[in-house]
Amino acid sequence: MNIKVKTFRELELQELYELLALRCQVFVVEQDCPYQDPDGKDHKAWHVLGYKKDNLVAYTRVFKPGDYFEECSIGRVVVAREERKFGFGKDIMQASIDFVYEKFGAIDISLSAQKYLLKFYRDLGFRERGEEYLEDGIPHMSMVKKI
């Protein structure tokens, strides 16, 4: 998988269209969760785009401390359904974690995990904190990767 990291202003129109389409395909259609995905925060994020050949197959967005959570954070973690068997979720998350450390140094990273993915995030070094909560009708847990 080929990884690109861009600010909102650096995104080309086609890249923006592709990332919004991928997020909608998974979070709205596949998970049957109608919600407003463009949340007004994309302009503050770094966008981590994972390509297989010329197709966007994986994506995250990264925020500096204070722009979303108190810590640096990774969100909107998504892999196209037909590409999940190739380990791209782990690859895009590792690229995102590496970007955080390169950009901000040794720093804690937080995320909001869908509960069924806890083991996936634990395997990347994240640990639960707090209680389960509903976000857009889906059970979530706050998680943090401590340095």
Split at pLDDT 50, 70, 90, the class of 92 is very high
pLDDT of residue 102: 96
Beta bridge partners of 77: none
Question: In this predicted model, what pLDDT tens digit does every residue of 17-66 receive, in sequence order?
Answer: 999 999 999 999 999 888 889 999 999 999 999 999 999 999 999 999 99
Instruction: Find where tokens 């059970």 sit.
Output: 139
pLDDT higher than threshold 90 for residue 147: no
Cα 97 from Cα 21, distance rounded (Å): 24
Beta bridge partners of 138: 135
Cα 31 from Cα 50, distance rounded (Å): 21
pLDDT of residue 51: 98
pLDDT of residue 7: 98
Are 80 and 25 a contacting pair, CB within 8 Å? Answer: yes
Cα 32 from Cα 50, distance rounded (Å): 24
Split at pLDDT 50, 70, 90, the class of 113 is very high
Cα 136 from Cα 147, distance rounded (Å): 30
| Burial profile 108-128: b = 16 or more Cβ within 10 angstroms, e = fewer | bbbbbbbeebbeebeebebee
pLDDT of residue 58: 98
What mean pLDDT is predicted for residues 121-142?
A: 95
**What does pLDDT average to over the chain?**
96
Domains of the chain: 2-106 (3.40.630.30)
Beta bridge partners of 129: 142
